[in-house]
């Protein structure tokens, strides 16, 4: 019986998501909610997958204890409760569901916008208390007002379209989104400070990272229009809450609406005593539809990754479409073999790895191909686990600079991948192609043309081009009772006549004694036994 992947669900998720996990025969699912850090550390070691929402914190100590963990799924958008760098270093994929609850969060933003402009919570409380004071709660129309949207991802764009439908002027700021994309959602791009100074309403839809922490501080609040209003349904740490309290108390800001806080719940916060702020308990994803969507989405992503290795929606991997991944996968397998090969042939510290794509492969996204070449290289050199998640991080830690290049021209091939490892004293280059678009072949080592299936055990030599070398190698292999599957003696493509290589596919690895014997042969300059 095939061993099943063990998955821990550490926060409550919708029944549909849980049932999807439990119905998959490849998974064994446990639900253990309410675990603190110590509790999670105590049990996490046996699990391959972990699903959380916002409550459970996946800290560096938890990740250090997760000896089998392959993936962490966050049913929601924000991953600030997960130590993503620590997960990346350990090669653990982190997933979130950035679009599954986008509509719900955008609609909550609009609800807050309307609540602020018409004083709906205050008016409700007034009527319930027995008062009838319509003149006290005179509001402000949204039509014709300017709303400034900071952060123009999926949620920001949905907010923009809805605000445009309310006949508002829509401004947006996001350094990673082009003006053309903003225009598609009826938004006009603005620099951040200009947006803050000119907007009647400012709404936040950006992630909480070091650069955005306290993005709306006292200085920026001071630049806002007198009587402007601020909305935050993204992350609490985006706003300096002390500065916000001061601006609301002084009357510089007419109001604020918050769904998120620096500390949740915001017990003892001075915000609780202000009448011109609307507070909700982190309701951004709290609709039946969103709860179902994020739970099903994260369950599907985790199942797909654990059973196939596909990670289209990973936070710590480049996001690539399924169509691109399917086209890239055969080249990734080739790049993995080339990385292993160049790592086996290169002595000493590598300072640079260069991946070059030629011909039709140059049309594809190079990142997953380069990642696999790094995996192949580093697996030969590091004792710890190396995969496409942590390969780039581990390369940087080893002082390896990674470069990519591409060209439409592939010379003698429809497509070609070259991988070069650079040291202080030498550069080793290997190249491969796909026959029929699917069968990997090694076609060159440095300037020597070869043809080999990059799979199995190999013996490689660099030697003087003279009679008897191949015979001597064959004699040693025969004595060791190791069969030769295929042999190729490389021809120098640059016309060199005094040097040659031999690439021999063998049935089993050679002993150190036999390798030493080969190295002692006078014509041999280098001998390497390796497995691809």
pLDDT tens for residues 273-309? 999 999 999 998 888 898 899 999 999 999 988 988 7
Q: Which candidate in 6, 57, 282, 381 is catalytic?
A: 282
300 included as an active-site residue = no
pLDDT at 501: 92
Superfamily of domain 102-279: NAD(P)-binding Rossmann-like Domain (3.40.50.720)
162 included as an active-site residue = no
Report the SS3 class of residue 40: helix
Residue 445 pairs in a beta bridge with 430, 448
The answer to whether the CB of 303 falls within 8 A of the CB of 24 is yes
pLDDT at 383: 64
**At residue 126, does pLDDT exceed 90?**
yes
Q: Regarding predicted confidence, which is higher, 298 or 379?
A: 298
User: Is the bond preceding residue 238 a cis peptide, omega within 30 degrees?
Assistant: no
Mean pLDDT of the chain: 91
**At residue 2, does pLDDT exceed 90?**
no
pLDDT at 1: 45
Query: Among residues of the chain, what percentage have pLDDT more than 90?
Result: 73
Cα Rg of the chain (Å, integer) = 30
The answer to whether the CB of 101 falls within 8 A of the CB of 259 is no
pLDDT at 272: 96
In the chain, residues under CATH classification 3.30.70.260 are 455-532
Contacts of 462 (CB under 8 A, 6+ apart): 499, 500, 501, 524, 525, 526
Which whole number is the average pLDDT over 30-42? 95
pLDDT at 497: 63
H/E element holding 15?
helix 15-22
pLDDT at 88: 87
pLDDT at 297: 92
Tokens (6 digits) for 55:
């409550």
**At residue 168, does pLDDT exceed 70?**
yes
Q: Regarding predicted confidence, which is higher, 110 or 180?
A: 110
Superfamily of domain 455-532: ACT domain (3.30.70.260)
Q: What gap in Å lies between CA 371 and CA 369, rounded to an integer?
A: 5
pLDDT at 416: 95
Q: Which candidate in 18, 173, 235, 356 is catalytic?
A: 235
pLDDT at 270: 96
Which whole number is the average pLDDT over 26-45? 95
Q: Which candidate in 264, 289, 408, 531 is catalytic?
A: 264
CB atoms within 10 A of CB 179: 11
CB atoms within 10 A of CB 492: 16
67 included as an active-site residue = no
User: Which of the four pLDDT bands, split at 50, 70 and 90, describes residue 382?
Assistant: confident
Report the SS3 class of residue 237: helix
In the chain, residues under CATH classification 3.40.50.720 are 5-99+290-308, 102-279
228 closest CA partner among 208, 250, 260:
250
Which whole number is the average pLDDT over 224-235? 97
In the chain, residues under CATH classification 3.30.1330.90 are 320-446
pLDDT at 349: 87
DSSP of 54-115, one letter per residue? Answer: SSS-B-HHHHHH-TT--EEEESSS--TTB-HHHHHHTT-EEE--TTTTHHHHHHHHHHHHHH
| pLDDT digits 0-9 by tens, 65-80 | 999 999 999 998 778 8
Tokens (6 digits) for 504:
């021999």
Q: What gap in Å lies between CA 429 and CA 354, rounded to an integer?
A: 9
User: Which of the four pLDDT bands, split at 50, 70 and 90, describes residue 384?
Assistant: low
pLDDT at 397: 77
pLDDT at 318: 72
CATH number of 5-99+290-308, picked from 1.20.120.420, 3.10.270.10, 3.40.50.720, 3.40.50.300? 3.40.50.720
Which class is 320-446 in CATH?
alpha beta
User: Which of the four pLDDT bands, split at 50, 70 and 90, describes residue 394?
Assistant: confident
């Amino acid at each position: 019986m095939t061993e099943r992947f063990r998955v821990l669900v550490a926060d409550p998720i919708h029944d549909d998501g849980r049932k999807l996990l439990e119905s998959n025969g490849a998974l064994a699912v446990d639900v253990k909610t309410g675990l603190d850090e110590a509790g999670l550390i105590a049990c996490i070691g046996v699990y391959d997958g972990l699903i959380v929402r916002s409550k459970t914190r996946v800290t560096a100590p938890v990740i250090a204890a997760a000896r089998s963990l392959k993936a962490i799924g966050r049913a929601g958008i924000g991953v600030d409760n997960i130590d993503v760098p620590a997960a990346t270093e350990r090669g653990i994929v982190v997933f979130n569901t950035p679009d599954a609850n986008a509509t719900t969060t955008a609609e909550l933003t609009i609800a807050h916008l309307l609540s602020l402009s018409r004083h709906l919570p205050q008016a409700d409380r007034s009527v319930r208390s027995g008062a009838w004071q319509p003149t006290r709660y005179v509001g402000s129309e949204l039509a014709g007002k300017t709303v400034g949207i900071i952060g123009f991802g999926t949620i920001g764009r949905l907010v923009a379209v809805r605000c445009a439908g309310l006949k508002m002027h829509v401004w947006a700021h996001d350094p990673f989104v082009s003006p053309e994309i903003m225009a598609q959602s009826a938004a006009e791009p603005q620099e951040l400070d200009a947006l803050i100074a000119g907007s009647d309403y400012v709404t936040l839809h950006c992630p909480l990272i070091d650069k955005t922490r306290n993005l709306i501080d006292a200085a920026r609040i001071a630049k806002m229009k007198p009587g402007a209003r601020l909305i935050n349904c993204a992350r609490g740490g985006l706003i300096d809450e002390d500065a916000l309290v001061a601006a609301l108390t002084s009357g510089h800001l007419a109001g604020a609406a918050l769904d998120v806080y620096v500390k949740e719940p915001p017990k003892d916060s001075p915000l609780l005593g202000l009448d011109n702020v609307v507070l909700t308990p982190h309701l951004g994803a709290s609709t039946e539809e969103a709860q179902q969507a994020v739970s099903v989405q994260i369950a599907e992503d985790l199942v797909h990754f654990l059973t196939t290795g596909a990670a289209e929606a990973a936070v710590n991997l480049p996001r690539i479409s399924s169509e691109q991944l399917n086209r890239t996968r055969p080249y990734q397998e080739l790049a993995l073999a080339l990385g292993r090969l160049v790592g086996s042939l290169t002595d000493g510290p590598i300072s640079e790895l260069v991946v070059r794509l030629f011909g039709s492969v140059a049309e594809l996204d190079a990142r997953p191909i380069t990642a696999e070449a790094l995996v192949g290289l580093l697996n030969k050199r590091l004792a710890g686990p190396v995969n496409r998640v942590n390969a780039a991080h581990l390369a940087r830690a080893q002082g390896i600079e990674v470069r990519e290049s591409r060209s439409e021209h592939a010379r003698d091939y429809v497509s070609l991948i070259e991988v070069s490892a650079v040291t202080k004293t030498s550069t080793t280059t290997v190249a491969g192609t796909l026959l029929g678009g699917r069968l990997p072949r090694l076609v060159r080592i440095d300037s020597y043309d070869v043809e080999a299936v990059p799979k199995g055990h190999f013996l490689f030599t660099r030697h003087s081009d003279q009679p008897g070398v191949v015979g001597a190698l064959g004699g040693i292999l025969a004595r060791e009772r190791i069969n030769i599957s295929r042999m190729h003696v490389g021809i120098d493509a640059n016309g060199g006549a005094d040097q040659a290589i031999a690439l021999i596919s063998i049935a089993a690895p050679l002993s150190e004694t036999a390798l030493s014997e080969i190295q002692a042969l006078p014509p041999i300059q280098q001998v390497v036994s390796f497995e691809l």
